[in-house]
């Protein structure tokens, strides 16, 4: 009886779903035939999502909150997990993308052909579970444990193809960056413990200590969570990690794990009662810099997934800008700005969690079809993959922030925030609007390139010409995400209803301006009219030219023997803009020239350079490595001695405490 009573409690259902997600890959580890294990994992993922999503929506819209305390015998205070509007809101992307990716993996990473399937499936579930635990944890120690499980399962997922050198080095960079971030977070929770005397999270708006201390907390949170969220210049690990992971993993990393960083930042900000104005200014400028630099570098990429990864940096920059505006508005007593900034940020969290996985899934299908991640070796896939091409088009329009898709709605809120500031005495904040317009313009370059070069034109290689459409298990999640994306663009109130509770929890003052300044009906009218008008025109013109249609080769401007190789490539498409942005985007050439009387094969390859990583950070790390060479003697790979280290450290700490 007790069990059934508990099952009626939506909050308990959410916790069950989290556990179920974590266990989804377990059966597969023990089954000899991987296919069954993988199917079981997908069923478990879908079930967990069916349990969780309705309960989350019920709690979020009904204003329910819940908290559970687990008795653990560890000296870190009570182990509390709680579901409040902020946690519930950030659980939505997890339970949306995790089952979608799990379903997608059936076709994309099948047990039949991928030896690493078992570990990928297991860690995929564990990653989702760990992310959800991070979001619901209310104890600093539990938070850090979940955080580490999240970071490590991310690592094991990302090195699924560890046979390749590129993947291994991406994994190392990820591991280093994620531990540096983890160190900042450990310092953060240690200082919280020092202030409050407990590992339990302080209640919202309860932390009122001297300015310097809270600002240290804020900076630690920014370093730790910002590096997870890929804010520039802490983004160095992100592009190669997201590019080298399997696509359904990239979707989860990019669509959801980055948002966990945003969640952490918002959570820490919510502790503090007095937030200085410069926090907002810092976040807004970091956000705009990330957005502009991220998308500029994205437009120069020729690796389809690297392009998407850099565009994640852009989108997270937009979200950070929104949070910055929220703090600025709150600090300067401007509830309108605070409302619009935070609403835009949270709305964009949802939006990015929809269209970025959509595009990563499409990129996965494209890679299956063309056998490469290199845009310059694709082309003409729209004929071979008509459905994927259609959904990728939806995703590309959405991510550029163009109507009628959801990206437009959230960017509109941010624009309104900026424009409203044009009326203030000193309109510094309004200067963000042209920057955002520039970001939008460059996003069009990046995604016209991605879509046009990969899907349109003629296939540039044999492999691209023989591609095949993805199976229905891969198309279904993509189609669902595309539909959600359109829904959010035409009817933003649907998404705003989810945003509102979190908004009220974070910023009770903004309740004064609870309504959108734009009457939401105009989104539906504008989007709907453009779609209907276009459809009517299309049909009219189709009817008009019926029977008077001829076909022939593309006009070659007089050149009679065109070949697919003369098409504009992705690199040439982005080159003109890259030439304007100078030092930010450089291309590295590898040339083996023709030499000698009997030359061997000559070759030339090119790739956009990671300027910051290769020119600044790696040389610095190399110097540090030389300087710290003596420490390597401690690192000899003998496990028993490592255990001795741990023992000795613990003993010393015990001595110190007594």
Partner 1 sequence: MIDTIFHMALVLAMPPLLLGVIGKTKAAFAGRVGAPFLQPYYDMGRLMQKGIVLSDSTTWVFRAGPVVTLAATLFASLLVPLGRHAAPISFEGDMILFAYLFALGRFFTTTAALDTASSFEGMGAAREVTFSCLAEPTLFFALITLTRLSGTMSLTPMLQHVTLPVWLATGAALILLLAGLFVVVLAENCRIPFDDPNTHLELTMIHEVMVLDHSGPYFCCILYGAALKLYLLGALFVNIALPFSSGNGFLDWGIFACGMLGLAVAIGVVESVMARLRLIRVPQLLVAALILTAFSLVLVVR
Asked whether position 583 contacts partner 1 by CB under 8 A, the answer is no
Phi and psi, residue 461, nearest 5° = -135, 165
How many residues at the interface with partner 1, by CB under 8 A? 85
57 binds partner 1 (CB under 8 A): no
Q: Show the tokens assigned to 237.
A: 């690990």
Beta carbon of residue 542, minimum distance to partner 1 (angstroms, whole number):
8
Nearer to partner 1, 10 or 608 (CB): 608
Q: Which of residues 167-206 bind partner 1 (CB under 8 A)?
A: none
Q: Is 584 in the site for partner 1 (CB under 8 A)?
A: no
Instruction: State yes or no: residue 465 binds partner 1 (CB under 8 A).
Output: no
Q: How far is the CB of 489 from partner 1 (least distance, A)?
A: 11
Which listed residue (31, 43, 517, 609) binds partner 1 by CB under 8 A? 517
Residue with smaller CB distance to partner 1, 115 or 422: 422
162 binds partner 1 (CB under 8 A): no
Q: How far is the CB of 324 from partner 1 (least distance, A)?
A: 18
Distance of CA 589 to CAs 98, 608, 612, Å? Answer: 39, 9, 17
Are 345 and 323 within 8 A, CB to CB? Answer: yes
| Residue the block writes with tokens 């979001």 | 135
In sequence order, which residues have a C-beta less than 8 Å from that of residue 387 and are 6 or more positions away?
469, 470, 475, 478, 479
Check binding of 522 to partner 1 (CB under 8 A). Answer: yes
In the bound state with partner 1, the residue whose beta carbon lies nearer, of 64 and 564, is 564
Cα separation, 467 vs 618, whole angstroms:
38
Largest CA distance in the chain: 93
419 is a contact residue toward partner 1 (CB under 8 A): yes
**Stretch of 71-79, 113-121, 319-327, 426-434 contacting partner 1, by CB under 8 A:** 426-434
Q: Is 415 in the site for partner 1 (CB under 8 A)?
A: yes
- Helix ranges (H only) for 159-237 are 165-196, 211-228
Smaller CB separation from partner 1, 157 or 385: 385
385: left (phi over 0), alpha (psi -120 to 50) or beta: beta
Dihedral angle sign, alpha carbons of residues 332, 337, 343, 346: negative
Question: With contact defined as beta carbons under 8 Å apart, do 61 and 478 qualify?
Answer: no
Residue 103 has, within 13 A of its CA and on its CB side, a CA count of 24
Looking at the Cβ atoms of 249 and 429, the one nearer to partner 1 is 429
From the CB of 538, what's the least distance to partner 1, in Å? Answer: 5
Q: Tell me whether residue 418 is exposed, middle or buried, using C-beta atoms within 10 angstroms of its C-beta: 0 to 12, 13 to 18, 19 or more.
A: buried
Site string for partner 1, 109-128 (x = CB under 8 A): --------------------
Q: Give the interface segment with partner 1, choosing from 31-39, 253-261, 347-355, 525-533 (CB under 8 A).
A: 525-533
How do beta strands 79-83 and 66-70 pair?
Answer: antiparallel
User: Both ends of the chain: CA-CA distance in Å?
Assistant: 49
Our finding on whether 433 is near partner 1 (CB under 8 A) is yes
Among 90, 91, 93, 118, which residue's Cα sits nearest to residue 105? 118
Closest CB to partner 1 among 172 and 537?
A: 537
Our CA angle for 207, 211, 217, nearest 5°, is: 65
Give residues 487-516 in contact with partner 1 (rule: CB under 8 A): none
CA distance 146 to 131: 7
Q: Under a CB-based contact definition with an 8 Å cutoff, are residues 116 and 159 in contact? A: no
User: 74 or 532, CB closer to partner 1?
Assistant: 532
* Least spacing, CB of residue 319 vs partner 1, in Å: 18
Nearer CB in complex with partner 1: 149/454 = 454
User: Which among 389, 348, 366 has a CA at the least distance from the CA of 485?
Assistant: 348
**CA quadruple 526, 531, 534, 535: dihedral positive or negative?**
negative
Closest approach, Cβ 548 to partner 1, in A, equals: 3
**Measured from the CB of residue 518, what is the shortest distance to partner 1 in angstroms?**
5
Residue closer to partner 1 by CB (options 264, 294) is 294
Measured in degrees and rounded to the nearest 5, phi and psi for residue 75 equal -80, 45
Q: How far is CA 655 from CA 317, 384, 649, 651, in A?
A: 46, 69, 10, 6
Span of 48-56, 436-444, 483-491, 588-596 interacting with partner 1 by CB under 8 A = 436-444
For partner 1, the closer CB: 487 or 575: 575
Query: Which of residues 218 and 415 has its CB atom nearest to partner 1 in the complex?
Result: 415
Q: What is the C-alpha to C-alpha distance for residues 374 and 605, in angstroms, rounded to an integer?
A: 12
Helices 570-581 and 277-300 pack at an angle, to 10 degrees, of: 140
In the bound state with partner 1, the residue whose beta carbon lies nearer, of 265 and 304, is: 304
Q: Which stretch binds partner 1 (CB under 8 A): 322-330, 331-339, 364-372, 415-423?
A: 415-423
Residues 6+ apart with CB under 8 A from 126: 22, 25, 149, 153
- Least distance (Å) between residue 158 CB and partner 1: 32
Site for partner 1 in 352-411 (CB under 8 A): 379-380, 382-383, 389, 393, 396-397, 400-403, 408
Q: How many CA atoms lie within 13 A of 552 on its CB side?
A: 6
Q: Per-residue DSSP letters for 570-615?
A: HHHHHHHHHHHHGGGS-EEEEEE---SSS----EEEEEE--HIIII
Q: Considering beta carbons, is residue 32 or 548 the nearer one to partner 1?
A: 548
Residue 341 or 379 with smaller CB distance to partner 1? 379
Mask for 250-279, x = binds partner 1 (CB under 8 A): ------------------------------
Q: Determine if 422 is a binding residue for partner 1 (CB under 8 A).
A: yes
Query: Contacts with partner 1 in 81-100 (CB under 8 A)?
Result: none
d(CA 131, CA 147): 7
Residues 562-581, mask of contacts with partner 1 (x by CB under 8 A): x-x-xxx---xxxxxx--x-
Q: What part of residues 441-460 is at the interface with partner 1 (CB under 8 A)?
A: 441-442, 444-445, 447-448, 451-453, 455-458
CB of 396 to partner 1, least distance (A): 8
Establish if 420 lies at the interface with partner 1 (CB under 8 A): yes
Q: Identify the helix (H) or strand (E) that includes residue 23.
A: helix 10-23
Nearer residue to partner 1 within complex by CB, 230 or 570: 570
Q: Taking CB under 8 A as the rule, which mask of x and - marks residues 526-555 in contact with partner 1?
A: x--xxx-xx--xx--xx-xx-xxxxxxxxx
Three-state secondary-structure class, residue 385: coil
> How many residues in the chain?
658
CB of 311 to partner 1, least distance (A): 15
Nearest distance in Å: CB 627, partner 1? 44
Which of 264/574 has CB closer to partner 1?
574
The piece of 127-135, 303-311, 418-426, 485-493 that touches partner 1 (CB under 8 A) is 418-426
């Amino acid at each position: 009886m007790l069990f059934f009573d508990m099952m009626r409690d939506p909050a308990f259902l959410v916790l069950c779903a989290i556990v179920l997600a974590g266990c989804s890959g377990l059966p597969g580890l023990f089954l000899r035939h991987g296919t069954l294990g993988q199917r079981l994992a997908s069923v478990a993922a879908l079930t967990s999502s069916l349990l969780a999503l309705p309960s989350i929506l019920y709690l979020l819209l009904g204003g329910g909150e819940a908290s559970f305390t687990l008795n653990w015998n560890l000296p870190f205070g009570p182990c509390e997990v709680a579901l409040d509007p902020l946690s519930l809101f950030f659980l939505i992307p997890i339970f949306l993308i995790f089952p979608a990716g799990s379903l997608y993996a059936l076709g994309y990473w099948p047990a039949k052909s991928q030896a690493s399937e078992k570990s990928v499936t297991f860690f995929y579930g564990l990653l989702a579970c760990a992310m959800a635990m991070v979001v619901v944890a209310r104890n600093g120690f539990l938070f850090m444990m979940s955080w580490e499980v999240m970071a490590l399962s991310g690592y094991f997922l990302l090195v699924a193809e560890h046979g390749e050198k590129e993947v291994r080095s991406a994994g190392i960079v990820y591991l280093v960056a994620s531990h540096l971030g983890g160190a900042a977070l450990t310092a953060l929770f240690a200082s919280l413990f020092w202030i409050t005397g407990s590992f339990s999270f302080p209640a919202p708006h309860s932390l009122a200590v001297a300015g310097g201390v809270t600002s240290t907390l804020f900076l630690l949170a920014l370093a730790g969570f910002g590096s997870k969220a890929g804010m520039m210049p802490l983004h160095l690990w992100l592009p190669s990690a997201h590019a080298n992971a399997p696509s359904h993993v990239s979707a989860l990393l990019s669509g959801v794990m980055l948002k966990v960083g945003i969640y952490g930042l918002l959570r820490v900000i919510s502790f503090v009662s007095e937030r200085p104005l410069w926090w907002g200014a810092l976040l807004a400028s970091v956000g705009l810099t990330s957005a502009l630099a991220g998308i500029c570098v994205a437009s120069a990429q020729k690796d389809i997934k690297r392009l998407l990864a850099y565009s994640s940096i852009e989108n997270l920059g937009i979200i950070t800008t929104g949070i910055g505006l929220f703090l600025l508005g709150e600090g300067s007593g401007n509830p309108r700005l605070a409302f619009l900034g935070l609403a835009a940020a949270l709305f964009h969290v949802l939006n990015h969690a929809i269209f970025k996985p959509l595009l990563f899934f499409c990129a996965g299908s494209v890679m299956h079809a063309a056998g490469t991640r290199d845009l310059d070796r694709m082309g003409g896939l729209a004929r071979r993959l008509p459905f994927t091409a259609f959904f990728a088009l939806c995703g590309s329009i959405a991510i550029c922030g163009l109507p009628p898709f959801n990206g437009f709605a959230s960017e509109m809120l941010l624009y309104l925030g900026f424009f409203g500031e044009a009326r203030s005495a000193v309109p510094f904040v309004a200067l963000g609007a042209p920057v955002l317009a520039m970001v939008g313009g460059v996003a069009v370059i990046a995604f016209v390139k991605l879509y046009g070069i990969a899907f349109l034109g003629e296939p540039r290689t044999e492999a691209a010409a023989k591609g095949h459409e993805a199976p229905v298990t891969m198309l279904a999640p993509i189609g669902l995400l595309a539909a959600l994306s359109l829904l959010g663009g035409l009817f933003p109130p649907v998404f705003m209803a989810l945003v509102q509770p979190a908004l009220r929890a974070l910023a009770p003052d903004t309740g004064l301006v609870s309504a959108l300044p734009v009457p939401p009906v105009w989104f539906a009218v504008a989007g709907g009219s453009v779609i209907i008008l276009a459809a009517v025109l299309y049909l009219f013109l189709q009817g008009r030219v019926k029977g008077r249609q001829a076909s022939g080769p593309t006009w070659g401007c007089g050149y009679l023997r065109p070949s697919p190789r003369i098409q504009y490539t992705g690199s040439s498409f982005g080159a003109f803009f890259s030439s304007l942005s100078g030092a930010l985007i450089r291309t590295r050439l590898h040339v083996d020239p023709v030499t000698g009387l009997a030359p061997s094969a000559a070759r030339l390859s090119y790739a956009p350079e990671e300027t910051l990583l290769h020119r600044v950070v790696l040389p610095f790390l190399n110097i540090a490595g030389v300087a710290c060479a003596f420490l390597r003697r401690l690192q000899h790979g003998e496990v028993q001695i490592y255990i001795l280290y741990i023992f000795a450290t613990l003993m010393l700490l015990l001595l110190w405490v007594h």
